[in-house]
Amino acid sequence: MPNVSLFSALAAAPAAQVSILINDRPFTVPDYMTVAAALLSVGITQLRETPVSNAPRAPFCMMGACFECLVEIDGVPNQQACMTLVQPGMTIRSMIGARSLK
């Protein structure tokens, strides 16, 4: 998928930057972003595939209600990307289908 972001950064106040890994690719984003905001800002619009039909999905409500932005964060599946702030070194992966029971 091309990295053409649906959202672009507006003039922002100075902020610290953090390095994160998204599906093994490194990105640097401001520390005030949630994981969902970070994904959208770097142009990743599809975060997961549904367990039912493998349909592509992306963040919808950005406030913790819709559960469309579920991703794997630091090895923990089904985390709400919109409710989680980025942390230095965070590893984020798309959720493809249902989580496995390890």
Q: Binding to other proteins by residue 53, rule CB under 8 A?
A: yes
Please select the residue that binds other proteins; options are 3, 17, 25, 65, rule is CB under 8 A: 65
Judge contact between 15 and 38, C-beta under 8 A: no
Element (H, E) at 35: helix 35-41
Q: Binding to other proteins by residue 71, rule CB under 8 A?
A: no
**Cβ proximity to other proteins, 21 vs 62, nearer residue:** 62
Residue 25 beta carbon to other proteins: minimum distance, rounded to whole angstroms: 18
Please select the residue that binds other proteins; options are 18, 68, 72, 73, rule is CB under 8 A: 68
DSSP state of 100: P
Backbone angles phi, psi at 50, to 5 degrees: -70, 150
For the record, the structure tokens of 79 come out as 């985390």
Q: List, in order, residues 6 or more apart from 8 with CB less than 8 Å away.
A: none
- Using CB under 8 A as the criterion, which residues of the chain lie in contact with other proteins when the complex forms? 4-13, 15, 30, 32-34, 37, 40-41, 45-47, 50, 52-53, 55-68, 70, 76, 78, 82-83, 85
